[in-house]
Homo-oligomer: A and B are copies of this chain.
């Protein structure tokens, strides 16, 4: 744990990691972000990408979606919301549902010290659903 006084700097790499996640248009993995940035900056290292994804998450500028297996997905939207993971292609999609704070309240009333929750739906992403329907 770092002291609360630690300062964050603005490196070119960190900015690029943030931009890349922000403009990905989907939920990218660390490696995808790395490959993407390498096109413009061939010297960036994968370690730096991981470190910055972590820092950006701590700063509350991005979200992260841990999906049981496979690499973690990152999210341009840091606000809590729900996801769907496609059992065909593994893609992570946002679910257009409001965050249910009442669930946390409900859990609190059951005697648990709960600070939040995550919901992961399983099914088919829009693309795979379309392909399967054919």
Contacts and interface: CB of A to CB of B under 8 A. Distances in A.
Interface residues of A, number: 33
The quantity of this chain's copies bound in the complex is 2
Contact of A107 (B67, B69, B95, B107): B95
Interface in A54-88: 64, 66-69, 72, 84, 87
A44 interface: no
A124 interface: yes
Given A66-B68, A68-B72, A121 B110 contact: no
A15 to B, nearest CB: 26
- Binding site secondary structure of chain A: mixed
Interface in A107-131: 107, 110-124, 126, 129
Interface of A: 64, 66-69, 72, 84, 87, 95-97, 103-104, 106-107, 110-124, 126, 129, 132
Contacts of A72: 68
A87 B113 CA distance: 10
B129 A121 contact: no
Contacts of A64: 68
B118 A120 contact: yes
